[in-house]
Amino acid sequence: MACTAEGVAAAVRAAAAVVAEHRAELIDLDRAIGDGDHGENMNRGFAAVVAALDAAPPDTPGGVLKLVATTLISKVGGAAGPLYGTAFLRASAKLGPAAELDVPALLDALRAGLEGVQARGKAVGGDATMVDALIPAVAAAEKTAGDGGDVAAVLTAAADAADTGAQSTVDLIPRKGRASYLGERAVGHLDPGARSSALLLRAFAEAAR
């Protein structure tokens, strides 16, 4: 199954709903090792994305992701806005003007999103950031696509791996972002951005089913 612009927009709306549901959880996670704004940042950003989709729905999957990117970059403060914004912008550039998103395009978009986060934030695996959710997510997506999985299966594998990867940040010493100021005192805490990345991928996977 390939996804049209409408399908991708529905997935983004589902992600906005999940972010709203988990706003308080993300705030609590960020309060423990950061400044407590991650849930509010993400919720404000995705609410603005939904408003932008309502106002002018794009007619390609790439157009939808570009709207997500530009909205997050302009509405979300902190580290996460520019990082997610760059991820969606690079993903949208990969999709180009294609009318449908198929498995190869999805893999390109996921890889480009991760590359965007790493180009912008310079985090590597093990730094206890969203990258620790995204690296295993992309690897799992590639494997499932190689096994012949469809868009929903690929996204479900990515979401499963992102959950496990996010959980791994609990045992890591943060080396990037605000949590790095705490050093070893941050050990024992789940990284909020890794959690939000896993939530977004889960929402996309559920929407694709």
Q: Binding marks (x or -) toward Mg ion, 13..32, rule CB under 5 A?
A: -----------------x--
User: Which residue is closest to Mg ion by CB?
Assistant: 34
Minimal CB distance residue for ligand ADP: 193
Cβ nearer to ligand ADP, comparing 80 with 109:
80
Is residue 35 part of the contact set for Mg ion (CB under 5 A)? yes
The minimum distance between CB 7 and ligand ADP, in angstroms, equals 28
Residue 117's binding partner out of ligand ADP, Mg ion, none, with CB under 5 to 8 Å set by partner kind: ligand ADP
Q: Quick check: 191 binds Mg ion (CB under 5 A)?
A: no
Binding footprint of ligand ADP on the chain (CB under 6 A): 30, 34-35, 37-38, 41, 78-80, 83, 117, 121-123, 129-131, 176-178, 191-194
**Distance of closest approach, residue 110 Cβ to ligand ADP, in angstroms:** 16
The residue from 7, 8, 26, 37 that contacts Mg ion (CB under 5 A) is 37
User: Which 3-state string (H, E, C) describes the chain?
Assistant: CCECHHHHHHHHHHHHHHHHHCHHHHHHHHHHHCCCCHHHHHHHHHHHHHHHHHHCCCCCHHHHHHHHHHHHHHHCCCCHHHHHHHHHHHHHHHHCCCCCECHHHHHHHHHHHHHHHHHHHCCCCCCCCCHHHHHHHHHHHHHHHHCCCCHHHHHHHHHHHHHHHHHHHHHCCCCCCHHHHCHHHHCCCCCHHHHHHHHHHHHHHHHHC
